Structure 1
Amino acid sequence: MLNVDLSGKRALVTGASSGIGEAIAGMLAQAGADIAINYFGPSDAAEAVAARARQAGVRAMTAKADISDPDQVSAMFAAMEGTLGGIDILVNDAGMDGPAAPAWEADLAAWRRVLDVNLFGTFLCSREALRRMVPRQSGVIVNLSSVHETIPWSGYSAYTSSKAAVSMLTKTLAQEAAPHGVRVLAIAPGAIRTPINQSVWGDPAGLADLERKIPMGRMGDRDEIARMVAVLASDLASYVTGTTVFVDGGMTDFASFAHGG
């Protein structure tokens, strides 16, 4: 159990029906927050996450929305307001990496879709949250960035560009919102073991190659991300805003230089 108390807080987690988002929603519920679970695909997984949250003794709802669509985002926040009465915590987790391709072969529609979800989706949800948080002089937004806000990744120029942009968006929103009692920050996971990347960690050679890039020598667990989100969303981090917290086992610490240049 967490030694974090989010009792009475109302949190929206985007992309919360699976992976890291699912773990974050569960952790916030465990800490006492009421949860709105955003999803885009079939509802079964999201409803299961909500059911587990209710078992923790909190209120939970599901909210289907394409976060890149302003109208759907607006409707989702209105639904949350009607069911939970408002929002105190927003976690912008929903994202995608898109198909791998060098820039000169990239499909423009696919490239743009990554930006629409990762960057515009984060902005649209943050905008709706801030419209509610700023007048109340209270609230926290945690954006899911990535180690690839600083580490290039060949074949994924849309993803890396979007995450670098999320980093600067976070800083700018934090600067705007700080005088109004609202904190905005980002968390950057490294290599986290989830079903979506099973093709990597399920292959011994691929896993060994990945682990050589991590000073701690292992992939992270999604609960290690979720615990940090819960801390950052709580009053334990009351003086933290406008920055990215890397939870990456040291991946951004240039593991290849551990034995000299």
Structure 2
Amino acid sequence: MIEKGPRPPHPSQAQGGPLDGAEGHRKRVLAGTVALVTGASAGIGRHLAQGLAERGAAVAGLARSADRLLTAMDEVADATGARTLAVAADVTHPDAVRAAVTQVTAELGPVTLLVNNAGLIDAAEVPLWEADPAQWWQVVESQVRGPFLLAHAVVPGMVAAGGGRVIGLGSGLGTRGSDVYSAYSAGKSAQMRITEGLALAGAAHGVRAFDLAPGVIDTGMTRAMPMHAGRTDWTRPEDVVALAVAIAAGELDQWSGRFLRAGADDVATLRATMPAGTARQLRLQPYGDTDPVG
């Protein structure tokens, strides 16, 4: 494990500095939040780590690549003045996850925001029966075992503290089947069930959980996917950050247990909307009014 210790306050965070007033409040809206972001060394996780830090959160980044992670968290700390921590660990290894959460809690305090971002995708666009079994299962493990282990290690602390929030990085492929990304689709669907389970069981303890689909961000992973070859229309990273910040700030708690989509959902509209029934939840659709499972 590699630690990045607390930094002195950035000039923009100094009391009486130039960000006093509305802009200062925006920058400090997550002050007191301790965020743990998995897969924080690159891509969406890296954007989220910096976006949360810019709003005043202390951010622990977790990833397998120690050197790249430390560089990323160094950059976040230098750019924002936030307290950061780099913890190298594999999210699918129970002992590594427990040790990582123990270190984060000791160094930064109890985690109040968990962002389950780390995950693999199918190595090739092929039907399930042509996929490599070992790689297929690694993808599912990263999307299911990883979020489970992180929540299992983090949520008891949230319950003890009176609440917290969990964000699972979702995908539209979790809401429907896929002919060539069967592992990723299965994993993301299962992750949605994890989110709903956390929301249902956690409600009485102040724990809320959300699926946040980032759309299609321009990252190394998405550019390597044949289905995105030639794509020029990408979701803006700042749209993903805006939703994550609104969730972390408690502005979208009525959406706990539900699916949100960056680039399509408007934060102001979500704030003003109270979802009813099973809206934005994964459900079996009846074939008609007489369907016995409807």
Q: TM-score range by the shorter chain?
A: 0.7 to 0.9
Q: How does 1:168-247 map to 2 (within 5 A)?
A: 168-199=193-224, 206-207=230-231, 218-247=233-262
User: Given the alignment of the two structures, is residue 12 of structure 1 paired with residue 27 of structure 2, yes or no?
Assistant: no
Correspondence for 1:148: 173
Correspondence for 2:71: 48
Q: Which runs of 5+ in 2 are unaligned?
A: 1-22, 266-294
Distance 1:18 1:102 in 2: 29
Picking from 172, 179, 191, the partner of 1:166 is 191
Distance 1:143 1:200 in 2: 21
Q: What's the RMSD between the two structures over aligned residues?
A: 2.0
Report the structure number with the largest CA radius of gyration. 2
Give the TM-score, by structure 2 length: 0.76
Number of aligned residue pairs? 238
> Any idea what the Cα deviations from partners look like across 1:227-258, whole Å, max 9, x if unmatched?
211111112223331111022548xxxxxxxx
Distance 2:63 2:117 in 1: 11
**How many percent of aligned residue pairs carry the same amino acid?**
32
The SS at the match of 1:66 is coil
The SS at the match of 1:185 is strand
The SS at the match of 1:206 is coil
Q: Which amino acid aligns with 1:14?
A: T
Tell me if the contact between 2:38 and 2:63 (Cα under 8 Å) persists in the aligned partners.
yes
Change (3 A) 1:238 1:199: closer
Distance 2:241 2:145 in 1: 23
Give the TM-score, by structure 1 length: 0.85
Q: Return 86-95 or 233-242, whichever deviates more.
A: 233-242
- Give the drift of 1:57: 2.1
Change (3 A) 1:200 1:242: closer
Q: Which amino acid aligns with 1:30?
A: E
Q: Which has the higher contact order (CA 8 A, sep 6+)?
A: 1
- Give the drift of 1:44: 2.9
